[in-house]
Amino acid sequence: MTKGISIVSPDKVAADRYAGLSTDAWRWLGTAVLIGLVVLLPFRLSNYHVFELTMVMIYAIAVLGLNILTGYNGQISLGHGGFFAVGAYTAAILMHHYAVPYWATLPVAALICFVLGVLFGLPALRFEGPYLALVTLAMAVATPQVLKYFDNWTGGQQGLNLVKPQPPPALGLDRDRWLYFIALIVLLVAIRVAVNMLHGRTGRAFVAIRDHPIAAAAMGIDTARYKTLAFGTSTLFTGVAGALSAIIIGFVAPESFTLFLSISFLVGSAIGGIATISGAIVGGIFIQFVPNLANDISDAAPSAIYGVAMLLFMYAMPHGVVGTLGPLLARSVPRIQARWPALIGK
């Protein structure tokens, strides 16, 4: 045992240092640069582009939720648009009927969507693979009609118009940039929570259940508990994203939450890399920009272009952008280092 480790570790230590910095240091540096960029970016862009990036982050949070459930735990959901709607309407109803400040609706939406997800996860224990997909599909299909039914609360088909949040005057930010930073903070918190959960015991349990439920149970993992936990956490993320979207768009209506939204989440998740965390951001970018690009390319058949883009992505990168490029990058760094030591150094 000890012998094995002692052989491996010197190599590993050597390989883990680039240009005199450890991988950890590199990671911190990278993260710091990245955060610096996303903080400065909105001041360089027009209001409209800031709004677009805000939507990217919201979709990324929703996709991250789906990644936890589908990517890490292997439960396919076609109903996350429904949970997104629950989050959005929680925020909208609280703001519209009870004049709750917008920021206070986020934890409420999180709680409601978590409980709902756990409740939904209980019967879902009995369904696997395509059967669960069908059950959740029912949720997505039913959502717009259920929303219309409770029209005293939801405003029916007319939807609810919300008062747009005012940024605190002391900050000197305009509304679009203020909302951008709110979304950014929520996204960073969501990523942090996901990293902590998925890179620990819970994450390993999720993956074990996905890869081999029987073996996982035999190892003593409480599969029922972890599956419902995965469901609840996943819907919590997506619900918070929904609440944020209601706040930022300033309007909710049943037409906002059709089946297509649920499918978009799944597409974003698969394109980004279904069992990854950073893939969610790629997924958010895809959901936000590719339909627009498709529209710019062809007015007549945007859906066809969208479909082709999807096919190309899946064909070139079957594990999603991050799922494919990530390992590729990890493999190529030592190779580049071996060939051009001067470039990265030792």
Partner 1 sequence: MTMKRTILTGLPGAALLVAGGLALAAGQYGPGASDTEIKLGNTMPYSGPASSYGIIGKAEAGYFAMINEQGGINGRKINFISRDDGYSPPKTVEVVRQLVEQEQVLALFNTLGTPPNSAIQGYLNDNKVPQLFVATGANKWNDPKNHPWTIGWQPSYQIEARIYARYILKNLPNAKIALLYQNDDFGKDYLIGLREGLGDKADKMIVATKTYETTDATIDSQIVALQGSGADVMVTAAIPKFAAQAIRKIYDIGWKPNHFLSNVAVSVKQVMQPAGPEKGVGIISAGYVKEPTDPQWQNTPEYKEWLAWMQKYNTAGSITDANNVYGYSVAQTMVQVLKAAGNDLTRENLMKQAASVHDLKLPMLLPGIVVSTSADDFAPIKQMQLQKWDGTTWQLFGEVISGAGS
Each residue 30-49 as x (binds partner 1 by CB under 8 A) or -, in order, gives ----------------xxx-
Residues 6+ apart with CB under 8 A from 96: 155, 160, 161, 162
Only one of the segments 31-39, 62-70, 227-235, 252-260 lies at the binding site for partner 1 (rule: CB under 8 A); that segment is 252-260
Q: In whole angstroms, how close is the CB of 261 to partner 1 at the nearest point?
A: 8
**Which 117-146 residues touch partner 1, going by CB under 8 A?**
145
Residues 284-313 vs partner 1: string with x where CB under 8 A?
A: -----------x---x--xx----------
Q: Does 55 bind partner 1 (CB under 8 A)?
A: yes
Select 55 or 60, whichever has its Cβ closest to partner 1: 55
Radius of gyration of the chain (CA): 22
DSSP reduced 3-state for 87: helix
Q: Give the separation between CA 342 and CA 157, rounded to whole angstroms.
A: 64
* Contact (CB, 8 A) for 333 and 344: yes
Q: How far is the CB of 146 from partner 1 (least distance, A)?
A: 11
Going by DSSP bridges, is the β-strand pair 160-161/251-252 parallel, antiparallel, or unpaired?
antiparallel
String of contacts with partner 1 for each residue 185-224, x by CB under 8 A: ----------------------------------------
Q: What DSSP designation does 275 have? A: T
Indicate which single residue of 41, 146, 156, 191 sits in contact with partner 1 (rule: CB under 8 A): 156
Shortest spacing between CB 49 and partner 1, in angstroms: 8
The owner of tokens 């079957």 is 318
- Beta bridge mates, 17: 22
Number of residues engaging partner 1 in binding (CB under 8 A): 31
Q: What tokens appear for 241 in the block?
A: 């994203």
Choose, by CB under 8 A, the member of 9, 22, 31, 158 that binds partner 1.
Answer: 158
Interface region with partner 1, contact rule CB under 8 A, candidates 90-98, 119-127, 256-264, 313-321:
256-264
- State the helix-helix crossing angle for 80-98 and 47-66, rounded to 10 degrees: 120
Q: Which amino acid is at 294?
A: A
Residue 160, beta-bridge partner list: 252
- Asked whether the beta carbons of 297 and 305 are under 8 A apart, the reply is yes
Residues that bind partner 1 (CB under 8 A): 46-48, 51-52, 55, 145, 148, 151, 156-159, 161, 164, 245, 249-256, 258, 260-261, 295, 299, 302-303
